[in-house]
Amino acid sequence: MLGFSLAEIKRIIMGNSYNAMDALHEHKKRLKQKHEQISELLVTIDKTIRKEKGEIVMKNVEKFQGLKEKLISDNEEKFGDEIRDLYGSNSIEESYQKIRKISKWELNEATKVEKEIIKKLGKALSTADIQSKLSMEVCSLHEKWIKMYWSTYSKKAHLQLVEMYTQDDRFKLYYEKAGEGATTFLYQAMKLYIKKDH
């Protein structure tokens, strides 16, 4: 079923509360959400093609909306199953709605924070001290960055996410730009950071 990972399908079917009608309604809901995402992306692509041909002038707001839909679509394609298993479909859809409402300034700020995380993570990694002030600053920046995209924040969910980074080569590839072992370093530092009252 579209939008359901194999683990989620097993959990639904094997669960005591499995109801075929509820499962069909949930499946329909997800299909409609996916259809809306694809429809919005197709409209933007069509407008971009017409703009390139010189047929129309595309407004910046339309380009920006298309960029956000592409970010959502790329994220869903790469990590959809994993993040839905971890946080549930409702949480993911709420986050996508938040991204759709984000302003250009907010998205630029998120990109700046993201770059700063990698830069400072590399410096913190070179000290090999997960308890350092710099390591805690990296964790604080990571929390700030996550809150820019998540509709609700919890320390537990944040730590689960960072733990997932250590188990997924796609995430490792991203964080290892800061240096070899950066993903595990971030996870170890985050465990300390989450325990602190901040």
CA atoms within 13 A on the CB side of 168: 16
Which two three-digit tokens encode residue 150? Answer: 């998540």
Q: What is the pLDDT of residue 166?
A: 92
Q: What is the pLDDT of residue 113?
A: 94
Can you list the residues of the chain whose pLDDT is less than 50?
1-2
Residue from 167, 163, 170, 166 nearest 183 by CA: 166
* Domain positions in the chain: 6-101, 104-195
Residue from 130, 124, 157, 133 nearest 143 by CA: 157
Q: What would the pLDDT profile of 129-144 be if each residue is shown by its tens digit?
A: 999 999 999 999 999 9
CA atoms within 13 A on the CB side of 157: 16
Question: CA distances (Å), 116 to each of 26, 57, 112, 145, in order?
Answer: 39, 35, 6, 10
Q: What is the pLDDT of residue 1?
A: 43
Q: What would the pLDDT profile of 24-34 be if each residue is shown by its tens digit?
A: 777 787 778 77
Fold topology of 104-195? Globin-like (1.10.490)
Q: What is the pLDDT of residue 39?
A: 77
Terminal-residue alpha carbon distance, the chain: 42
Could you tell me if 74 and 114 are in contact, meaning their C-beta atoms sit under 8 angstroms apart?
no
